[in-house]
Amino acid sequence: MYSTGHGVERDKETAVRWYRMAAKQGSAVAAFNLGAAYYNGDGVPVDDAASLEWFLIAKESGSGPAAAAVERAVAEDVRKSIVTRGELQAAALCEQGTEVPQNYELAMKFYREVFERGDNAAAVRLGNLFAEGKGVSRDDEQAVTWYRRAADNKYPIGYFYLGLMADHGRGMAADPIRAVDWYSKAADAQEPHAMINLGLMYQDGRPGVPQDNVRAYEYFLLASLYGVPNGTKAAEQLKARMPQKQISEAKKRADKWLLSHRAVGLLTSAPQPTEGPK
């Protein structure tokens, strides 16, 4: 009604809101209409990935027009970048269950297809579903398998999760040395949460991982420079227990790391901007 103006004043934005409410209840027609809205820019900005996302949801609910729209989109997207993004977004919708009925089985189907298209984030999401037991029985070994597939393609988050599993002995025997190795690969690819975990391991010391406050502070500092709040807190707490000589050494190491990773704007020794006129 609102999209065509039958019986009410035409209002495409309101039509989209009604489509969303119906799609949340599992309506294939509403999902298709949302896909069409994003395709044509009716009530929402044109967004090809969002359009395909909704067409995929509608197709899986049995919509023939949506299936045709998906087939057309796949044929037109030569590089498959839009198809990958749309399918990844559709998987997230099914996993989260906030805009469509939650459907982990369908989410996993989409994630598998996206991974086959070469997107490693999908492998990590699959690993997380197995690790958290969402839609399947918890299976840490399967989680490790998917994290490893991402890591084999040098995906930083894949390294991070392998480190986490080795750190906590899930899906494999606990192995601090292997955990440090995987965390280090993730950190070297500028994954800041791996920096936090490396800092914790060096701060506490583990079997085969000597306690080292300088390295711990270096990684906490790097994590904080990359915007991780826990990094700032951990760095401040550790700094209070360190002599100035160790603090200076850790900062030098952090700056050397930043230079080698072309992150000059984050240097700890960079001059701070002065306060401008009020």
What pTM, to 2 d.p., does this model score? 0.86
CA distance 40 to 35: 9
Question: For residues 211 and 246, is the Cβ–Cβ distance under 8 A?
Answer: no
Same domain, 21 and 79: yes
The crossing angle, in degrees rounded to 10, of helices 120-132 and 140-152 is 170
> Which neighbouring-strand residues pair with 206?
209
Number of domains making up the chain: 3
Same domain, 112 and 167: no
Same domain, 14 and 111: yes
Mean of pLDDT over the chain: 91
Provide, rounded to the nearest whole percent, the portion of the chain with pLDDT above 90. 88
Same domain, 126 and 224: no
Same domain, 83 and 162: no
Q: Above 90 in pLDDT, residue 11?
A: no
Question: What's the CATH code of the domain at 82?
Answer: 1.25.40.10
> What is the per-residue pLDDT for 8?
38
Same domain, 111 and 123: no
In which domain, by residue range, is 175 found? Answer: 119-183
Could you report the per-residue pLDDT of 55-94, keeping only the tens digit for each? 999 999 999 999 999 999 999 987 789 999 999 999 999 9
Same domain, 96 and 158: no
